[in-house]
Amino acid sequence: MRLPYVLPMFMLVFGFASMVTADPKPPRTGVIDRVVGVVGRTPILQSEVRARARPYLTSPQFPKEPSARTIESQVMREVLDRIIDEVLIETDAKRDAITVSTEEVETAIQTVARTQNLSIDQLLRAARDAGLDENAYRAEIRRHVLDGKVTSIRVRGRLKGLSDLPEASRAMRVEQERRVWLGELRRSTFVEVRL
């Protein structure tokens, strides 16, 4: 008849033992990362936006006074908008198998170095000083090359008489049409901003 007392005693002993062996400090909880945007089925994480904004936010030209918080949120929003455009362009490029090869990235890096009168090592060092490691810089160049290829295919084909315009006007007209095209992509794709 001691059975009814065994269960409470069992629970008390093992409950106490688990309290003694448990970590005295509860685990730290908090937000590690969060989704700040979604394009189609592609989430955009706050850490990605922060990493891409770091060169702007750590620049010597970035203000240090209290109004910098407002400017920082504007920079973060602009970077998020650019990432959204890049995801839209990447998705459109995948649909038609438009790719960027390693050779195209290397050629673009050589071109940037040449126009800046720098060696490739100096260019990569300057990128590192701006807050981009070599992989991040190459990824940035790859995105620019892909953007150029897709813009050339999608946007320039929509414009008539482009070759008759002066170079400055041509570039401005292409950028205007690119914005229209990206607006159409945004309207036809699920885009959510949570920043």
Half-sphere exposure of 52 (CA within 13 A, CB side): 22
Q: Against a cut of 0.75, is the pTM above it?
A: yes
Note the pLDDT of residue 63: 74
Q: What residues of the chain score a pLDDT lower than 70?
A: 1-28, 30, 66, 68
CB-based contact 182:88 (threshold 8 Å) = yes
* Residue 179 amino acid letter: R
Question: Two tokens at 138?
Answer: 């190459």
> Which residues share a beta bridge with 43?
38
pLDDT tens digits, residue range 38-56?
999 999 999 999 999 988 8
* Residue 114 amino acid letter: R
Enumerate residues 6+ apart whose C-beta is below 8 A from 67.
none
